[in-house]
Every structure is written in structure tokens, then in C-alpha cells.
Amino acid sequence: MSMPDLSNDPHDPEDDRLHRIRHSLSHVLAQAVQALRPGAKLGFGPPIADGFYYDFILPEPLTEEDFPALEKKMKHIIKQNQPFEREELDRDAALTRIDEMGEPYKREYAEELIEKKGLDGLSFYTNGPFLDMCDGPHVDSTKDLRKAGFKLRSVAGAYWRGDSDNVQMTRIYAWAFPTRVELEAHVKAWKDAQARDHKKLGRELDLFVIDEKVGRGLPLWLPNGTVIRDELEKLAREIEFKAGYQRVSTPHLTRSELYYETGHLPYYTDSMYPLMELKESRASEDGGTEQVVKESYALRPMNCPHHHRVFAARMRSYRDLPLRLAEYGTCYRFEDSGALSGLLRVRGMTMNDAHIYCTEDQARAELHAVMDIYREVYGIFGLDDYQMRFSTWDPEDPKGKQKYIDDPEGWETAQRIVREVLEESGHRIVDGRGEAAFYGPKIDVQFRTVTGREETVSTNQLDFGVAKRLNLVYTGADGEEHHPYIIHRAPLSTHERFVAFLIEHYGGAFPTWLAPVQVRVVTVSDKFAEYGRKLVDALRGQMVRAEMDDGGETMGKKIRTAVTRKIPNILVVGEREMEDGTVTLRRYGQRQQQTMPFAEFQARLIRTITTRAPEFLDAQ
């Protein structure tokens, strides 16, 4: 059965055909698994973006070594020309049928569908001996799958219904496309993406490590990775200073009462680390003693409440606004262990955070200024494949009063402001109805990564409600107190997510300004080591991250090592270079070498770094 049900989503005819192919192949896989592992129980088997998967409870494990046998069985099933036949049964007959099938997980889901959706019956599909509770759609027959290209991809663990309290099932992923040619092209692109995987490159380039003794989801930044963090912070500080931001520094924890005031507690409890309770002994009514909570503290999951207290630290006038407070603040969120993934999903993160406190009349101009920062930042990194998701509230959501501030007029005003700014900015916009923050609409910047994923990299929110909740006020020109609008923005996201994105974007070959090691000097032999060290000293005197490979390996081995480490600039020096005061520059990814006076190289290098140029600049 497809979960979630995609059959009613709008597709063009080609997409609908591909959906049917993938859905039908998932049934063929399930039939093959039950043939090779009799007694296997079924979970869900939906089509997904590049293929399909199916979840099973298996009497005997399956591994990737079993894939050839499974694919052979699938091809055999396809050749049998099994028709896909649909059958509708009323509720009682449907539940009886599922019991006869011996599928307890299908039974659980069927009962939920009947109860929550008020269904009078359920549908089933049969192909050959295989029967599944399913809403479809499917191809007419397995013969329609003969030209399709499919390939089993991987085996993973997956909790039933995505809940870690439930049984863990075996999930088999597969790729599927209308033709083998399209499949082969996709597999090649996937392999290229694997070579750029930030977890793989993070290990190879010594950028970060996740140490189980420190804790899952709590990355340790190694020296090379810390260089990248520092460069990103330097970039943010420069841009924000020019834009009139003021930097603040706030603690990593706070009294838990603050989060009750903001409304994050108790609703955000599951995403927070447990509260730290300070207890003291007091006399109890029975004459003994008891432990009572004196104070409780929380590791902060976001920076906003701290910044709100900075705003509230003194009386504010309309003349103080807009007030732009910025901080690279570290936050902690207790993500489910199954969701953790390298730097993309972590439990400790440092965010390029800022909050702008402004009047309603200033909100449009401030949002435009924030969008300009986004454009500037993305331009520096050469990022242009993105769109803006406009996330709004859904007044028809039955849980609306729990999810959103109950202020329809405030929502309409804030959403109008954001929508107008987005339309004026000229960005591609997609609708995100029902995905707003609880205090206001937001803009999520969606990137298509070089590895083919769509990721939310940055966010921008217009908060019209929290200032009222916390009684944050300023004195207006009329002498009355007013609540400010608050813009939450993070163009450079968190260090963790943005660095993961950049590792994959650059394939680990960072531009010179961002590279952990910007220059490596390689000598032809030890005779030229002194000259090489002089070059390194001169460069480091200009704050260039330069080093010399003075190991005992051959020059060729030293160059290969530097290339493996993806160092952007390799300087080869020998007798001619020492005599002439020159260097021979070998750029990463380029075969052509250039010999030039060291002074020229140094001047070009410094200009390349200070301008954050994507390529090594020519002499002026």
C-alpha cells in the first residue's frame, strides 16, 4: 500500500505513468521478497522521488548480497504478464481478507483508515499470487514494466510508521525509471553525488567528526573545519556591520520560565534536552525533609528569547528602531536518533541568527534589505538554483489554535507584507500553506543541491505575535506604547547545515578564500627547503594559510597528496625558482602550470582572498 497516498496528487500524464510504474514495481518487489523469504510481513511500499521502497518484517535477514537473486525473481515475475486486478470490499470483508492474508501491520493501518476517514470499504490489488491492500493506481499488467529500468539500491532499518517506539522493519530501496537509459543516467549521477557526500569528504579532509563518547549529533569541529566556520562568521560580520547590525552575545542556557513565557514550552518539550533542575531540601509536612525544585534551566533550542530580553533590557523609542541584533548563537535540539545525519541533522548547532525589531511601516524595507543580504551571500558562493517557499498559516487547520497565534487580522497583515516583498523581489515562489511558524509567516529558501536533493538552507520570518505575548514595547511618536514587528533571519543558516551544503556544492574543493589550507609549498628536494620556508613565512605574515610539505617523499608524491587534500594552490619550487625569486603555481583541477615572480603571486593571492573571488585572479 502506498504511504503516503500519492494517487490523487496532480501529475502531468508522464508523471502519472512513472508513478504507476514505480508503484507496480514495489508490488513486484514484495512478491519476490515473499517468494525468497516465506512468511515475510508487509509494511508500506510507496513510490518515491527516484523509485520506490518496501518495508518488511523478515523471518531471515536480507542484505545487498541478496539483490541479484531478488532482481532475477522480479524479472521473472514481470515476464509472467501478471495483470493488476483491483477489488473493492466493504469494511468487514476487507478486515476479514487482511486477517486471511496474515498481515498484522496492514490490519492496524486498515482499522485506522476506517475509523479516522470514515471509509465504508477498502481496495485491494492482486497480481499473480500476490495480494496487497492498496488504493493504486497501477499499470495494467507486469508486461507494461518490461521496458522499465529498475535497480535495487540499499537496505536500511525503518521503524513502523516512523515511530521509534514501534518495531524496526527492513526497508529495501530501489531506483525505477521508464527506461534503462534513464536509469543508468540516474545511477551515474547518484554515484557522482556519493563522491561529494559531506560525511565522506568530512572524514577525508579532516573537517569534523562525530564522537560517540561526546554524543550523537554533537559534531567536533577539527582545525580544518573550524577554519571554514571562522571564514563564514567573518563574512557574516562584515555584511551585517555594513547593514547596520549590532552584535550581541548570550548564554547557551536560560531559566525554563522564559520558554513558558514565549510559548515554546510545553509544546516544544520533545525537541529539547531535559530540563536541568536545581533542588533543595525543605521540611515536609510529616516532619521529614523533601527535595523540591528551586530553579530549572534549559539548554536553548533557539536564540530568539535571549534576544528578546536584550531588547527588553531598557526602554525603547521609535527613534531606536529598526534595532538589528545579530549573533552566531549555539542551540541544542534533541533530534530523534533516527533522523541524525552528519552535519545536516544534528543536536548541537551554531546559527547565523539575527532579530530585527521594527515598526509595521519599516517591515517592508527591512525585509527587502534582508533579501538583498541573501542575494549577496548566495552570489559570493555562486549559488543560483533556489526558490522561495512562502509558508503561511492555514485557518482551516483543525489544530490551528495550537499551531498558530490566534490573531486572524494580524496574520493577514503580516502575510500581505511578506507576499508583496516576495513579488517585488522577483524570486521564484512556491506555496507553503500551513507551514508557517506559530508566530508569523516565513520564507524558506529552498536549494536544489548538486547531489539532487532539495534542502531548506535559510529562513526568514515575520513575527507579529511574540512581542505582544512578552509585552515587548517601544514608545511611538504619539507617546503611546506599541509592540514591534520582529524579523527572524539566518541567511547563512547554521554552521552545520551550511557547511554540509558547501562541502557538497564544491565537492570539497573550496575557493581559496574559504580553503582550510590556501597554499602548500612543495620543494623539488631538501636543498630548496630554506627558500620554501621563506615563502611560507612571507605568506603567513600576510595572514595566508600557507604550509610547506617538508616530508621525505618524492616531489610527485607530495603533489599527489596536496591534490588529494584538494588544496587550491600548490607552489613548486626548485633551483630555477630559488635563483630567480619565482614560484611555479599549480592550481587544483588545472593541468597548466604558471611560473611567475613570487611578489606577483603574493599580490594576486591576496586580492583573490580579500575579494572572495571564486577563481585565482589575474595580475592587475
What stretches of 246-347 adopt beta strand conformation (E)? 246-247, 253-255, 276-283, 289-299, 323-332
Number of H helices, E strands in the chain: 18, 28
Question: What is the model's pLDDT at position 401?
Answer: 60
**In this structure, are strands 593-597 and 582-587 parallel, antiparallel, or unpaired?**
antiparallel
Q: At what angle do helices 67-79 and 13-36 cross, to 10 degrees?
A: 120
Separation of alpha carbons 325 and 307, rounded Å: 7
> In the chain, pLDDT over 90 holds for what percent of residues?
76
The 10 Å CB-count burial string (b at 16+, else e) for 243-259 is: bebeebebeeebebebb
CATH superfamily to which 519-610 belongs: Anticodon-binding domain (3.40.50.800)
The continuous run of DSSP H or E covering 405 comes out as none
Asked if residue 194 lies in contact with residue 211, where contact means CB atoms within 8 angstroms, the answer is no
Contacts of 81 (CB under 8 A, 6+ apart): 141, 142, 143
What is the pLDDT at residue 386?
Answer: 87
Q: Where are the alpha helices (DSSP H) in 346-387?
A: 360-380
Query: Which stretches of the chain drop beneath a pLDDT of 70?
Result: 1-15, 398-403, 451-452, 620
Predicted pLDDT of residue 285: 78
Separation of alpha carbons 216 and 337, rounded Å: 8
Based on the number of CB atoms within 10 Å of its own CB, is 280 exposed (0-12), middle (13-18) or buried (19 or more)?
exposed
Domain range summary for the chain, segments of one domain joined by +: 13-191, 219-252+300-504, 519-610
Integer-rounded Cα Rg, in Å, for the chain is: 30
* The domain over range 13-191 is classified in CATH as 3.10.450.40: no
CB 387 within 8 A of CB 429: yes
Beta bridge pairs of residue 488:
355, 461
The total of other beta-carbon atoms located within 10 Å of residue 390's CB is 22
Question: Cis bond leading into 4, ω under 30°?
Answer: yes
CA distances from 611 to 375, 512, 514, 568 (A): 16, 11, 11, 16
**Cis peptide bond prior to 266, omega within 30° of 0:** yes
DSSP 497-532: HHHHHHHHHHTT---TTT-SS-EEEEESSGGGHHHH
Cross-strand pairs, 617: none
Q: What's the first-to-final CA gap in the chain, in angstroms?
A: 65
* Alpha helices per DSSP H over 207-352: 223-242, 257-262, 304-311
C-alpha cell at 518: 590556501
**Does an H or E element contain 91, and which?**
helix 91-101
Q: How much is the pLDDT for 413?
A: 94
Strand partners, 208: 221
pLDDT at residue 393, rounded to an integer: 86
Separation CA 306–CA 251 (nearest Å): 8
Neighbours of 123 (CB within 10 A): 16
Nearest to 43 by CA among 106, 102, 96: 106
Helix, strand, coil percentages for the chain (3-state, nearest 5): 40, 30, 35
Q: What local confidence, expressed as pLDDT, does residue 400 receive? A: 57
Say what the pLDDT of residue 3 is. 31
Instruction: Report pLDDT for 334.
Output: 94
Give the cell for residue 377.
551571500
Which residues are CB-neighbours of 343 under 8 A, at least 6 positions away?
198, 199, 202, 208, 219, 496, 497, 499, 500
- Cis peptide leading into 322, omega within 30 of 0? yes
For 554-597, give the DSSP string.
-HHHHHHHHHHTT-SEEEEE-HHHHHHTEEEEEETT---EEEEE
Residue 617 confidence (pLDDT): 86
Superfamily of 219-252+300-504 according to CATH: Bira Bifunctional Protein; Domain 2 (3.30.930.10)
Give the C-alpha separation, 55 to 40, whole Å.
Answer: 10
